[in-house]
């Protein structure tokens, strides 16, 4: 059985003119030790997916449907009290711009300590302090920084502290939402390598949300490509690199600059993501697709299996479309 099972997760935001269908029917499994990248351009629903998996969507957002099964329990059915016991302890998220969330008035160690004491009230002060020091070591920060204030830390160090906080309650799944965006590329590579090592050593499931295809393919073993609130391709990193199927995945690749191939022709994906308020029931990529045909306008394709470990939502692929 998978560590985490996400089924048909669907989240809308209420607007004056109708619902913004920001996340539609997200489904995937995550194994222990699995590192899944969720990728797509801005506004395609990546953060909504992350917060929905944590059942942390707030008004005007609403989870309309779906299940998120962790340890046989559905997080979406839990009330606030039940959720409080699970969030951070079983599943943790490093949200976008998390490093700005460190409280400048408190010492770094105390901030991690508070998170631990909240979830392990029975732990003694000595044990909790030792755990903070262990976590600082784990993320490559000298334990003397326990007494340092956030403004003394570089961006990379703050990010390591945030990872330590995410790990503080020993979660089984970590969702990292653009955790390294804005950091120097070398620091970004170090931090992601660290996250990957911790995930593999501890058998965690890791979900890395990003818009950077090169980074995600370097670190993840599976990739989900999102477009306009839907998963349009889900497969192994090898398949995404060698045999991408969905026209959007292919377009994303041709729009990436390759630092190892300066002769590569870089093209942009023409057009913009469609409006998600009352969207038409056609393929959401229709207006930008250079391979569209008549059927694509009639109904939005579902994500179907085209081979082992390869699912695609496009009428050009597979023959079992409804």
Question: Among residues 199, 204, 208, 206, which one has the least CA distance to residue 226?
Answer: 208
Residues in the chain: 322
- The single residue listed with the structure tokens 């996340």 is 23
Which uninterrupted H or E stretch holds 193?
helix 185-202
What does the DSSP 8-state code read for residue 301? P
Choose from ligand SF4, ligand ATP, Mg ion, none: what does 95 bind? Cβ within 5-8 Å by kind.
none
Q: Which residues contact 262 (CB under 8 A, 6 or more apart)?
A: none
Beta carbons of 159 and 152 less than 8 angstroms apart: no
The piece of 45-53, 122-130, 168-176, 304-312 that touches Mg ion (CB under 5 A) is 45-53
Of 301, 303, 311, 318, which one interacts with ligand SF4 (CB under 6 A)?
A: 301
Which uninterrupted H or E stretch holds 304?
strand 304-307
Shortest Å distance, C-beta 298 to ligand SF4: 10
Residues near Mg ion (CB under 5 A), total: 2
Indicate the residue among 145 and 315 with the shorter CB distance to ligand SF4: 315
Indicate the residue among 61 and 150 with the shorter CB distance to ligand ATP: 61
Q: How far is CA 234 from CA 7, 26, 39, 114, in A?
A: 14, 11, 10, 38
Q: Which residues contact 70 (CB under 8 A, 6 or more apart)?
A: 3, 4, 86, 90, 91, 172, 173
The piece of 28-36, 40-48, 139-147, 217-225 that touches ligand ATP (CB under 6 A) is 40-48
Indicate the residue among 103 and 267 with the shorter CB distance to ligand SF4: 267
Choose from Mg ion, ligand ATP, ligand SF4, none: what does 42 bind? Cβ within 5-8 Å by kind.
ligand ATP
**Interface pattern 234-273 for ligand SF4 (x via CB under 6 A):** -------------x--------------------------
Q: Is 316 in the site for ligand SF4 (CB under 6 A)?
A: yes
Indicate the residue among 70 and 300 with the shorter CB distance to ligand SF4: 300
Choose from ligand SF4, Mg ion, ligand ATP, none: what does 44 bind? Cβ within 5-8 Å by kind.
ligand ATP
The piece of 90-98, 109-117, 180-188, 283-291 that touches ligand SF4 (CB under 6 A) is 283-291
Of 10, 11, 20, 47, which one interacts with Mg ion (CB under 5 A)?
A: 47
Buried b (16+ CB within 10 A) or exposed e, 70-88: beeeebbebeeeebeebbb
Choose from Mg ion, ligand SF4, ligand ATP, none: what does 315 bind? Cβ within 5-8 Å by kind.
ligand SF4
CA atoms within 13 A on the CB side of 34: 20
3-state secondary structure 200-220: HHHCCEEEEEECCHHHHHHHC
> Using CA atoms, how far apart are residues 101 and 104, in angstroms rounded to an integer?
9
**Interface pattern 268-297 for ligand ATP (x via CB under 6 A):** --------x---------------------
Indicate the residue among 24 and 239 with the shorter CB distance to Mg ion: 24
């Amino acid at each position: 059985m998978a560590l985490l099972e996400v089924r048909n997760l669907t989240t809308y935001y209420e607007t004056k003119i109708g619902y913004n269908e920001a996340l539609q029917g997200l489904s995937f499994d995550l194994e222990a030790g699995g590192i899944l990248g969720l990728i797509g351009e801005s506004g395609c629903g990546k953060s909504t997916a992350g917060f929905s998996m944590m059942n942390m969507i707030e008004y005007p957002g609403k989870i309309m449907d779906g299940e998120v099964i962790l340890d046989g329990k559905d997080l979406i059915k839990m009330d606030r009290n039940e959720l409080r016991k699970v969030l951070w302890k079983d599943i943790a998220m490093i949200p976008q711009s998390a490093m700005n969330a460190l409280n400048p008035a408190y010492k770094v160690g105390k901030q991690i300590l508070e998170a631990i004491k909240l979830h392990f009230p029975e732990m003694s002060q000595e044990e909790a302090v030792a755990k903070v020091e262990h976590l600082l070591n784990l993320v490559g920060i000298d334990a003397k920084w326990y007494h340092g204030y956030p403004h003394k830390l570089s961006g990379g160090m703050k990010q390591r502290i945030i990872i330590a906080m995410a790990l503080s309650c020993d979660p089984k799944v970590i969702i990292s939402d653009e955790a390294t965006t804005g950091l120097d590329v070398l620091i970004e590579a170090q931090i992601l390598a660290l996250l990957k090592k911790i995930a593999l050593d501890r058998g965690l499931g890791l979900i890395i949300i990003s818009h950077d295809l090169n980074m995600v393919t370097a670190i993840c073993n599976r990739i989900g490509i999102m477009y306009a609130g839907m998963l349009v391709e889900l497969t192994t990193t090898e398949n995404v690199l060698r045999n991408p199927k969905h026209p959007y995945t292919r377009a994303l690749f041709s729009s990436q600059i390759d630092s190892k191939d300066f002769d590569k022709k870089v093209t942009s994906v023409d057009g913009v993501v469609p409006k998600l308020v009352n969207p038409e029931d056609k393929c959401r990529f229709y207006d930008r697709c250079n391979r569209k045909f008549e059927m694509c306008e009639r109904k939005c394709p579902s994500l179907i299996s085209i081979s082992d470990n390869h699912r695609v939502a496009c009428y050009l692929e597979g023959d079992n479309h409804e």
